Each structure stands twice: as C-alpha cells, then as structure tokens.
Chain A
Amino acid sequence: MTTTIAASQPLPRPAGSLKAQLRRAERLRKWKAFGLVAPLALFLIVVFVVPIGSMLWRSIDNTELESVMPLTTAGLQQWDGVGLPDESTMAAFAAELRDSRQGGGLGRIGRRLNYEGTHYRSLLMRTLRGLPASLDADVDWTTTLVEIDESWGETTTWLGIQRAAPPTTDRYLLASVDLERGDTGQIQRIGEGDRLYQAVFQRTLVIAGGVTLICLALGFPLAYLLATLPARTSNLLMILVLLPFWTSLLVRTAAWIILLQSNGLVNQSLMATGVIDSPLQLVFNRIGVFFAMVHILLPFMVLPLYSVMKGISPSYQRAAVSLGAHPFAAFWQVYVPQTISGIAAGTILVFIMALGYYITPALVGGPGDQMVSYYVAYYTNSTNNWGMAAALGSILLVVTLMLYLVYHRLVNRKQLIRN
C-alpha cells in the first residue's frame, strides 16, 4: 500500500535524486554554453541589431517637434484644421519656441519643418527675434504672432506644423520610392521632374547584377584554371589574383581613371594602332563603373569558386567521358553541378558587396551611374536629413533580404534536384 501512496502523492523529491542532479547538470551546461556564446551574441547585438534597428526606426521617426514642443504638438493634434489653432496652443507655441534654442531643439524643428515648406526656418527665426521680452500672461498670443509675421494668421502655416506633429511618419519611406501624400492624405506619385529614387534602386540592382555576372563569366574559367594547373604555376597565378586584393580600393579606382580617360593609356594605344580615330568615352559613365567594380570584386568570386573546385576530383569527369559523354556534356552535367555551392557563395558575396558601392561609382561614374549609397551619403553628410538616409538604407536592406531569400530557395532547389 505504501507504494501506491507514494505514487499518487507527488512528494517533493529529495535533493539528491537522479532527476534533479541531471537537471542541475543540464542547467549548468546550458549556462556554460550561453556563456560561451554570450560575447558573440553581445557583439552582434551591439554592432548589428542595434544600429540596424535604429536605422529602421529613424526612417519613420517623427519625434523632432514632439520632443521640442510637447504642448504645441498636443494642442495641434486636437485642432480640427479650420481657421486658427486656439489661444492656448498659440501661447504654448510662443513659450516653447523661445525655449527651443537650448539644447539644439530649434535646429531640429527648423530642419523638420522645412521639409513641409522651405519658408519655415526663416519664419521661426524672424518670430524668435520678434517675441516680446517677457512672457506676460495677459498677452493675446494670436494677435502678437500675427503682428510679428502675417503667415501665423494663415491656416496653411499651422497645417504644415500639424503634419509634422505625429510621432511617426511615412514621408521618408514614401519619398524614397518617389511617392508623397497629397492634400487629402492620399498617396500619389511626385512631380515627373523630381522622380529619382525608383530609377536609382533599379540602377543599383542592374549594376550589382551586371557586375556579378561579369565576375562569374571571368572568374569561373580563371578559378578552373587555378584548380587544374600544377601547384607551382597556380600558386604564382594565385598571387596575381590576390595582389589587387591588397591594394587600396581608392588607388585602384584612381588608376582606372588614369587608364581610361580620353588621353589615357587605353585610348592612346587604341588610336596609335589605328583601331579608333577619336578617343572613346570609357570613364565617367557606366562602362567605367563596370570596369572598376569588376576589377575590385573579382577576387571575391574567384576565391570561393577555387576552394570548391579544388575539392572536386577530376575522375568524375573522366568517368563520364569514358562512359561516352561528350566532353562538354561531361563538363556541364557532371562538373558544373558540383561547383554550385561555390557559384552560390561567390555570386551572393559579389552581389551584396556591389549593392553598397559608393566611392567607386562616385569617382568613375557620371551623374546617371550613382547608386543608392551615394544618396545615403549625401543626406547624411551634406544636409543632415537622417530620415531620408535611413529610409533609403532600410528599403535597400529589405530589397536585399528578399532577393537573398529568393536566391537561397533557387540554389537549394537546384541542389535538391541534382541530388
């Protein structure tokens, strides 16, 4: 009977029982594993997750006005957009504008409001200068503000500020694909003369894709040669492949300008040999971009291909030929499928690196060859419009991730079929 009682009553087991010991050992192992992974995880969070997260956030962040003018923002969000905001909002605006010079707040709201209309920055400055010295309680702020500048008596001025009030905005993301919100809030395309970024994204993908294909076309035979030649020759060739790898990117880019310019080495030798009569335009256009980027990225294609090809035994191909296959069929159906993982690694590496290229197209390209990162740099460095910079970056990130997923699928399926 005692056994049934013990079974039906889940008494707390003594500390020394096997299960508890196991659990403790298991927990200890878990903590140990966690401790080993922790530095890497922490590193990833600090240098990867946090910056990317903050970039994604910045692309919709609209808290400039709210952080500097909380009362005005609250008042404007309750305003119905007809006539003028009420007196208490006006008073709050005057008080908060006066205080905004502390801590750089004025700069932030000036920049933000200028996106709604180019006159806001100077309007705020004029108003700030015209504000009376003391904040008297019985001043009628509506009249005072209109006296300082007539625009404060216009509904559209306040509507612009109201649009900047909500804590998040889609304006940067929309602007990054040439869209905007119209007067009634509907999404519409921007004026034809200003459309830019759809073409820039398309161009970025085309250039990166083109560079990847050219690198594959050049890199595959080269890697094959390296993998099949006797070790001494292939080592020498390998050094030649790696040599540009160790040279500064800027130097290699500048070298291409010197080689390809109108009176450069290439044009002069072509003219001297009578191939052409007048110099070809080889740089400051798309051709120059392809030359320089392929040259710089080629090692990233050759190295993964080479490492995979090195591990492929030549006997498979020989076996195929001895069984009656045409040499090309043996190459295409037996050899190439074994290099798929190298091709996949090389192309994805080159493509993703090419997507982010900035300095090379900036130096050897024309105005029609600039990629997304050029505009990210422009907004970050020249105009401090981090919202736009983050939105462009976020969209590029999302597009890259989607392409990567599709690509991953395709490569995996191919391998499955082969297997």
Chain B
Amino acid sequence: MIHNRFPLSRLGRSVAVGSLLATGLLVSTGAQALTVISFGGASGDAMQQAYYGPFQQSTGINLTPGDYNGELSRIRAMVETGNVSWDLVEMESPELVRGCFEGLFEPIDWGRLGLENELIDSAFDECGVGTFVWSTVLAYDADALDSPPTSWADFWDVEQFPGTRGLRRGAKYTLEFALMADGVPADEVYGVLESPEGVDRAFAKLDEIKEHIQWWEAGAQPPQWLVSGDVVMTSSYNGRIAAAQEEGSNLEIVWNESIYDLDYWAIVAGSEYVDEAYDFITFASQPENQAAYSSQIPYGPVHPDAIAQLDEEQARRMPTHEENMKDALAVDTAFWVDYGEELEQRFNAWAAR
C-alpha cells in the first residue's frame, strides 16, 4: 500500500524489462559493474540524473541500474542460492527491518562510510542508509476553508471545520494521528500504542469522527478528492500533494504532526561489490547530490545541508526542512512489523461496525 505514494508511471515500468536489461547489459559489456536497483519511475529517473550518471563520471566505476517493485522474495532467493546479481537495493522500511532480521543484507559499517553525525537520525539503520524522506501529512484545499487547520486536533474538530475527511484505510498512521489529536506528544505515541489501553484510547478517539471519514485506498485519491470537493481535509502522501500543487490546485500541507518514513540503501549479503557499494552510498549522501535529487522530486534529502542548496520554494516542500521536521514523528517500523497484524485486524473489525 505504501507503494502508492509513487507516481503511477513507476508501476508502468515492467520489472521484467528492467532486470532483463540489467542482466543483458552486464553480460554484453562483460565489464564488472555495480548493480543498483531502485523502484524506478519518476524517482528512478531523478536518481539516474542525480546519482548514477555523476557517480560513474567521477569514480569511473561501471554502474548497472535496474528497477523492481520492492519484493523481498527476489532478494531472499538470490541470497539463498548464492547467486547475488544485485548489489545495492533501495528498500522501504518494513522490508528493510524484515530482511535485516533474516540476514539478507550486509550490516552497515558506519565508520567506513564517514557519515556519522552528518545525516538525520532516522537515516541510520543497522542494515541500511537512509536516502530520502517522504511524509504522510494533513492536507486541505485552501480555497474551501476560511481558516486553515493546524493540527490533528483541528482535523477532529467537526464543529469548526464541518465536512467529510479522508484517512487511509488501515491502522498504520490512523492510530498515530488519533493519539496526537487526543493530546499525546509525538515522541510518546508509540509508547502509548504498545499498551492495550493506548490502543483503546486511539479507537475511542476515532469513534468521535467515524461518520465523517471517507477512507482512501490508493495514494492518488486524497488530492483528487480535495480538488473535487469530496473532502475538506485529508491525510495524504506529501509527494502527491506537491504534484497537485504543480498542476495549479491551491492545496496546502500542514507539516505539524506529520509522520515521515524513509527509503534506504541496503547492500545485499554476499555481494561482490561491497567496496563500490559503500562508495556509491557515500556519493549519494553528499549534500550537493542529495539536492540534485530533491530538486526533481519532492522527497526530502537526508543530509540537512542539502536543503540550503535548494531554492526557497522547493525547500519549503521538503519533509526534512527544519520547520517541517520540528514537530514531525518518525514512523516506528519495528513497531508496525511486530504489532501490524493484530492492529489491522482490530481496525477492520472497528471500521466495519
């Protein structure tokens, strides 16, 4: 479901074509090359511009790009058969946590990267190095509301802001937003959710606005509903809102109490190009390269200095802009990997009542 935050064009790219191309190139040139696999689409194009091309030019290391749809099973198959043809892979956080647990990735030697204290905290993971940040935010149509909402408490306030609201159909994000609306500080949200009373509290809060919620399934729906006037405010992926803004809609984002997540670079266990992979990660984490990536797509750089290199308007749209980061919450992926199933079941039972 998380995949939905990417523009549709990514889906259009056939995984088969991508990997065939990758292996085809590998065989035909006969040269040894670092294989880097991303999710493709608009993000992949931005990576090509910002990372792949410049990296090959500046280091002389051959790089073979490819794309996939985030399936851990393909990486598992490679590691188990010892036939590792992918070296560096872009991972979403739940798969990174699962894969790391299963030993599918090389543990990151942070000393070797020389990036300590340089990146934002959540970019550091046992098995991965954060590469960009995306957010789930509160968005609204500035033309439709007299006064702008500023928090999830406002989202819950149907007296002052009458109208239908949109939320993602699922427990993830929804429960966090409910607790924040109920006055739980962002950094205590997961502590509260770990206890059964905290879960009850979140669902009790959701009961208050249940009849006003229209649940979305695909990432394209929230901006479309805002534009069509179906909802007055909604949770949404920030990239989708940015795309709608570029098309001329007067949509606004409330960064306060947003929840952000990262995509990571992970080195496949047993890769023959670990050294080159480390070089690539270091290269892709430099502020100027991060800025080059983020100037093409509204995913926030993990290096704080990169923000300064973007123009002001673009910088304000980044989840990692200082102002936007201030009261934001990092999603606790390990929590969702452990508790996800039972909370989703509870959510579905609740929502159907």
A367 to B338, CA, bound (A): 23
Write out, one digit per residue, whether chain A residues 112-123 have a CB within 8 A of any chain B CB (1) or not (0): 001000110110
Given contacts A118-B338, A362-B217, A367-B215, A262 and B230 within 8 Å (CB-CB): yes
| Residue A132 interfacial (CB < 8 Å) | no
| B198 in the interface (beta carbon within 8 A) | no
Contact between B349 and A196, CB atoms less than 8 A apart: yes
Whole-angstrom distance from the CB of B94 to the nearest CB of chain A? 9
A171 to chain B, nearest CB (A): 13
Number of B residues, CB within 8 Å of A? 36
Judged by a CB distance under 8 angstroms, whether B14 is at the interface is no
With contacts A118-B339, A383-B341 taken as known, whether A196 is within 8 angstroms of B348 at the C-beta atoms is yes
Query: Across the two chains, which residue of chain A brings its CB closest to B353?
Result: A368
> What 0/1 pattern do residues 181 to 219 of B give for CB contact below 8 A with A?
000000000000000000000010000000000110110
Residue numbers in A under 8 Å from B76 (CB-CB): 104, 107
Point out the residue from A107, A114, A196, A385 that lies within 8 Å of B352, measured CB to CB: A196
Tell me how far the C-beta of B242 lies from the nearest C-beta in chain A, rounded to whole angstroms.
23
The stretch of B51-59, B96-104, B284-292, B316-324 that contacts the partner chain: B96-104
Asked if residues A367 and B101 are in contact (CB atoms below 8 Å), the reply is no
Nearest opposing residue in chain B for A105, CB measure? B102
Please judge, given known A-B contacts A262-B230, A368-B351, whether A110 and B341 are in contact too, CB under 8 Å.
no
Cross-chain contact A121 with B101 (CB below 8 angstroms): yes
**B80 CB–A CB distance under 8 Å:** yes
A-B contact number at CB 8 A: 85
Q: Is the CB of A263 within 8 A of B217?
A: no
Judging by beta carbons under 8 Å apart, are B352 and A125 in contact? no
Verify B102–A107 contact, CB threshold 8 A: yes
Chain A residues whose C-beta falls within 8 Å of the C-beta of B229 in the assembled complex: 262-263
Q: Is the CB of B346 within 8 A of A261?
A: no
Bits for B81-116, please: 1 = Cβ < 8 Å to A, else 0.
Answer: 000000000000000001001111000000000000
Contact check, A284 vs B215: say whether CB atoms are below 8 A apart.
yes
Contacts of A107 in B (CB 8 A): 76, 98, 101-102
Q: Does A104 contact B80, Cβ atoms closer than 8 Å?
A: yes
Least distance between A100 CB and chain B CB atoms (Å)? 9
CA distance in complex: A298, B344 (Å): 34
Segment 350-379 of A: residues with Cβ below 8 Å from B: 362-363, 366-368, 370, 375, 378
A interface: dominant SS: helix
B1 & A382 in contact (Cβ 8 Å cutoff) = yes
**A284–B214 contact, CB under 8 A?**
yes
How far, in Å, is A114 (CB) from chain B's closest CB?
A: 6
Residue of B with least CB distance to A264? B228
Rounded to whole Å, the gap between the CB of A164 and the closest CB of chain B is: 16
- Of all chain A residues, the one with the shortest Cβ separation from B350 is A193
A63–B283 alpha-carbon span in the complex (Å): 45
- Residues of B near A101 (CB, < 8 A) are 102-103
Residue of A nearest to B231 (CB): A262
Within 8 A of B (CB), among A113-169: 114, 118-119, 121-122, 125
Q: Are A261 and B230 closer than 8 Å at their CB atoms?
A: yes
Nearest-neighbor residue (CB-CB) of A191 within chain B: B346
A382 and B337 alpha carbons, distance in the complex (Å): 10
* Complex Cα–Cα for A90 and B187 (A): 38
Q: Are A122 and B230 in contact (CB under 8 A)?
A: no
Residue B7 CB within 8 A of the other chain: no
| Least distance between B353 CB and chain A CB atoms (Å) | 8
CA of A261 to CA of B347, assembled, Å: 25
A104-B103, A121-B338, A382-B344 given. 20 additional CB < 8 A pairs?
Answer: A104-B80, A104-B104, A106-B101, A110-B102, A114-B338, A122-B338, A193-B203, A193-B349, A194-B349, A196-B345, A261-B228, A263-B228, A263-B230, A366-B351, A367-B169, A367-B347, A368-B353, A375-B348, A378-B344, A382-B340
Can you give 7 A-B contacts (C-beta < 8 A)?
A: A106-B101, A107-B76, A194-B349, A200-B352, A263-B228, A370-B352, A375-B348
Binding site for B on A (CB under 8 A): 101-104, 106-107, 110, 114, 118-119, 121-122, 125, 193-196, 199-200, 203, 261-263, 284, 362-363, 366-368, 370, 375, 378, 382-385
Considering the complex of A and B, which 10 residue pairs feature the smallest CB-CB distances, nearest first? A367-B351, A107-B102, A368-B352, A101-B103, A196-B349, A118-B338, A262-B230, A104-B102, A263-B228, A383-B341
